[in-house]
Structure 1
Amino acid sequence: MSKRDELVAKYAEDIKSKFGETPDMDLLNKVAVGLGPAIYNLDASKVSGSDDKELETVKKNFLMKKLGLADSPALMEAINSVIEKYGKSEKNKHRAVIYYQLAKHFGKESVYN
């Protein structure tokens, strides 16, 4: 099992346990591949749910640039909703899981096809 496969399995477990959903493994793999080497970096692979600057970066770099969404209050509402479901006290909020959830939330899975 490759390091990426191990990480994707960990992300899938988070989606099952924290969100109560069965993950779309194909999409989850594509999100992990899309993040490139960031998933292997301890700091870059996580999102701090309490850091407004970091959440703004998720909004600009992922939702607006990658998914092509227009800036609106709905973007930050969606990010906060995912963070809330993940669990505010959960220290290890994996970037791949958050991006996966946001892509699904906005119906933008096709970006990864």
Structure 2
Amino acid sequence: MADTDWSEDVKKYVPDADDNAIAGIVRHCGIALQSRDASLVSFTDKSELERVREKFLKKKLGLSMSDAELDGAIATIGDKLKDVRNKNRVTVYYLLADHFGKLSDFA
């Protein structure tokens, strides 16, 4: 997975994506990106979506909205990526950070 161009994938959805923010998210994900399974987000796995909400949205981004609101944002991103078989964690996190106006946390 080390040769994956995360920025290329993000830019399929956000053509003018911030490369510094992408690099920051890659740093945040760290070792998880070395495993193919961990580098992807499964929108059909309830525990995976809970992890995204608790560890990324609440802990990393410091969001304090209701779980329903956060889950709604995750579902919106999942819907945006519904035609993509392998949903890259970096792309999902970038889209979520962008959705909440939190890209500056990574840049």
> TM-score, normalization: structure 1?
0.83
Residue 67 (structure 2) pairs with residue 100 (structure 1): no
Q: Partners in 2 of 1:49 and 1:43 — Cα distance?
A: 13
**By how many angstroms is 1:92 displaced?**
1.0
Matched, 1:74 2:75: no
Listed as ranges, the gaps of 5+ residues in structure 1 are none
Q: 1:61 is matched by which residue type in structure 2?
A: K
Pairwise mapping of residues 7-86 of structure 1 onto structure 2 (< 5 A)? 7=4, 9=5, 11-17=6-12, 19=13, 21-72=15-66, 73-86=68-81
CA contact (8 A) 1:103 1:109 kept: yes
> What CA distance in whole angstroms lies between the structure 1 residues aligned with 2:81 and 2:36?
18
Measured on the aligned residues, the alpha-carbon RMSD in Å equals 1.6
- Number of aligned residue pairs: 105
Kept in 2: contact 1:15–1:22 (CA 8 A)? no
TM-score by length of 2: 0.87
Secondary structure (helix, strand or coil) at the match of 2:11 reads helix
Task: Give the AA of the match of 1:13.
Answer: E
Q: Give the conservation status (yes or no) of the 8 Å contact 2:21–2:104.
A: no
Higher relative contact order by CA 8 Å / sep ≥ 6: 1 or 2? 2
Higher normalized helix content (fraction of residues): 1
